[in-house]
Chains A and B, each alone.
Chain A
Amino acid sequence: MNPLGEKYLRKDFLPFLFCPGCGDGMIVQSFLQAVEDLGCRENLAMTAGIGCSAWIAVYIHADVLKVLHGRAIPAAIGLKATQPSRTVVTFTGDGDCLAIGGNHLLHAARRNIDMTVVVVNNQLYAMTGGQVAPSTKVGSKTQTTPYGNVEKPLDGCKVAAAAGATLVSRWSTAHPRQLIRAFKNALTHKGFAFVEVMSQCPVQTGRYLLGSGSPQFNFQWLKDNCVAVKDTSQRDEVEAQGKIPLGDFLQVEKPEFMEEVRRMNERVKEAKAKGGER
């Protein structure tokens, strides 16, 4: 076992339940490297929904809350509200975050709550057998769209940015160094950080969408189809070619929700102590 794994994983839960060649294990490793570099393990609290990607949190030896499908973000908000000093991280998948928990993502981003949401995007519902998800491309044949998908996919990064997230990044499992850097940025960022990770799923995405269940083929597909960009014009260009743009798209400072609430409480207390109007 890797020294990082020796230090941070729950040994009694191993081996990982992920299929051979799954990208989720790489995300565990990149995330642990970021935690190791920042030394924030003591404060770490994670929530996870349902799906393969939600298992990432379970293997890490820290405080974990595993909740209903799509409800990982509300649980994280509750955690952050009661213990503002914790570093709260949510692990969700594309179906968990963008479809079932889509509304929660919008409102957590809108309020700019100090938390990190890691969305593992494998382009379909993998755990349940390869059904169409909001991130599936047009024309893809899946279990539930045998004649090709006719729905337009949803871009999680654009949704989060439009809703008011203050840090938005997208990297893939084929770019571990950049992914570690993005995790470090997100964990130290004050505000809502949204990190999307394009991940390979040889068993479902590979077989249904790409035509091969080989881990190597799926990994190479990610390398060929994910292009790192520097600015928005480049991003549109890459999207027009039908490829997936990667990069650190947005990082701004905005007032954080929990701090605003605390400030409001103090203001009200002061006003009450003076006996005046609020």
Chain B
Amino acid sequence: MKGAERIEIDRRYCKGCMLCQYVCQFDVYEQGQERSALDYLMPRPARIENCRVCGLCESHCPDMCLTVVAQMNRKEKR
């Protein structure tokens, strides 16, 4: 199964609408304590191991500040 290597949230542009958390089916995100450059509380990919790289959060991000980087060569790592 596909997994995410990391989830990048651009702190320059995030407005903390938390739609990423809302659309995520695998409960990856939670409300973080870090503030973005625009002074909004940002989401935090707390449970990244649940991520299936479906891309829903990426396509629903209104500020285009979210990037899900898929794991490469996972089979080889195993």
Contacts from A to B (Cβ < 8 Å): 1-5, 9, 14-16, 18-26, 28-30, 33, 176-177, 215-216, 219-220
> Taking the complex as formed, is B26 at the interface, i.e. its CB lies under 8 A from any CB of chain A?
no
Shortest distance from the beta carbon of B77 to any chain A beta carbon, whole Å: 24
A interface, by DSSP: helix, strand, loop or mixed? Answer: helix
Instruction: Report if A1-B59 is in contact (Cβ < 8 Å); known contacts: A9-B64, A28-B64, A216-B19.
Output: no
In contact, B67 and A24 (Cβ under 8 angstroms): no
Shortest distance from the beta carbon of B28 to any chain A beta carbon, whole Å: 16
In contact, B62 and A2 (Cβ under 8 angstroms): no
In contact, B15 and A2 (Cβ under 8 angstroms): no
In contact, A15 and B63 (Cβ under 8 angstroms): yes
Produce 1/0 per residue, B26-47, CB < 8 A to A: 0000000000001010000000
In contact, A2 and B17 (Cβ under 8 angstroms): no
Instruction: Report if A20-B22 is in contact (Cβ < 8 Å); known contacts: A1-B65, A26-B59, A26-B62.
Output: no
Beyond the given A14-B13, A177-B59, could you list 8 further A-B residue pairs with CB under 8 A, ordered by the A residue number? A1-B65, A3-B67, A4-B64, A15-B13, A15-B63, A20-B15, A24-B62, A26-B60
> What are 26 of the A-B contact pairs (CB < 8 Å)?
A1-B64, A2-B58, A2-B61, A2-B66, A2-B67, A4-B64, A5-B65, A15-B15, A16-B62, A16-B64, A20-B15, A20-B16, A20-B62, A21-B17, A22-B62, A23-B62, A25-B62, A25-B63, A26-B62, A28-B64, A33-B59, A177-B59, A215-B18, A219-B22, A219-B23, A220-B22
Across-interface contacts of B13 in A (CB, < 8 A) = 1, 14-16
Choice from B12, B16, B64 contacting A2 with Cβ under 8 Å: B64
In contact, A1 and B67 (Cβ under 8 angstroms): yes
Shortest distance from the beta carbon of B55 to any chain A beta carbon, whole Å: 9
> Taking the complex as formed, is B49 at the interface, i.e. its CB lies under 8 A from any CB of chain A?
no
In contact, B64 and A176 (Cβ under 8 angstroms): no
Closest 4 CB pairs of A and B: A25-B62, A21-B17, A20-B15, A5-B64
Q: What's the Cα separation between A219 and B60 when bound, in Å? A: 10
Closest residue of chain A to B69 (Cβ to Cβ) is: A3
Across-interface contacts of B10 in A (CB, < 8 A) = 1
Choice from A4, A28, A215 contacting B19 with Cβ under 8 Å: A215
Interface centre among A15, A16, A33, A219 (most CB of B within 10 A): A15
Q: What's the Cα separation between A9 and B64 when bound, in Å? A: 10
Shortest distance from the beta carbon of B29 to any chain A beta carbon, whole Å: 12
Across-interface contacts of B40 in A (CB, < 8 A) = 20
Choice from A4, A21, A220 contacting B62 with Cβ under 8 Å: A21
Closest residue of chain B to A23 (Cβ to Cβ) is: B62
Q: What's the Cα separation between A4 and B59 when bound, in Å? A: 11
Q: What's the Cα separation between A179 and B44 when bound, in Å? A: 28
Q: What's the Cα separation between A7 and B27 when bound, in Å? A: 30
Closest residue of chain A to B37 (Cβ to Cβ) is: A15
Instruction: Report if A176-B60 is in contact (Cβ < 8 Å); known contacts: A1-B10, A15-B13.
Output: yes
Across-interface contacts of B62 in A (CB, < 8 A) = 16, 18, 20-26
Closest residue of chain A to B65 (Cβ to Cβ) is: A1
In contact, B61 and A25 (Cβ under 8 angstroms): yes
